[in-house]
């Protein structure tokens, strides 16, 4: 019982992190070069992967996994560019 509540809570937290990142990007508060944007997406992805695996939703797991991989790529790309400046 407590595991189900914890996993669902993790899933909701992942969803909230994705939504915050998307809102902040669209409001112009964050850009794709902002590390916060990528960190929120990476954490959101990790949390939603855990949640969707628990629920045996493998298509959603893959979508969230690739979202996270792309966020890691963006984080590393812009971190490298920032060092070059």
pLDDT tens digits, 48-71: 999 999 999 999 999 999 999 999
Q: Residue 32 — pLDDT band, cuts 50, 70, 90?
A: very high
pTM of the model: 0.93
Task: Specify whether the CB–CB gap between 56 and 23 falls below 8 A.
Answer: no
Q: Residue 82 — pLDDT band, cuts 50, 70, 90?
A: confident
CA–CA separation, 44 and 67 (whole Å): 9
* Structural domain of 60: 2-84
CB atoms within 10 A of CB 63: 15
Per 3-state DSSP, what percentage of the chain is helix, strand, and coil (rounded to 5)? 85, 0, 15
Q: How many helices (H) and strands (E) does the chain have?
A: 3, 0
Residue 85 has pLDDT above 80, yes or no: no
Q: Domain tally for the chain?
A: 1
């Amino acid at each position: 019982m407590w595991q189900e509540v914890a996993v669902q809570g993790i899933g909701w937290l992942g969803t909230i992190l994705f939504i915050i990142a998307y809102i902040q990007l669209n409001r112009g508060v964050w850009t794709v070069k902002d590390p916060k944007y990528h960190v929120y997406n990476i954490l959101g992805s990790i949390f939603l992967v855990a949640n969707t695996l628990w629920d045996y939703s493998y298509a959603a797991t893959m979508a969230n996994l690739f979202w996270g991989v792309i966020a890691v790529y963006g984080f590393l790309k812009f971190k490298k560019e920032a060092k070059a400046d």
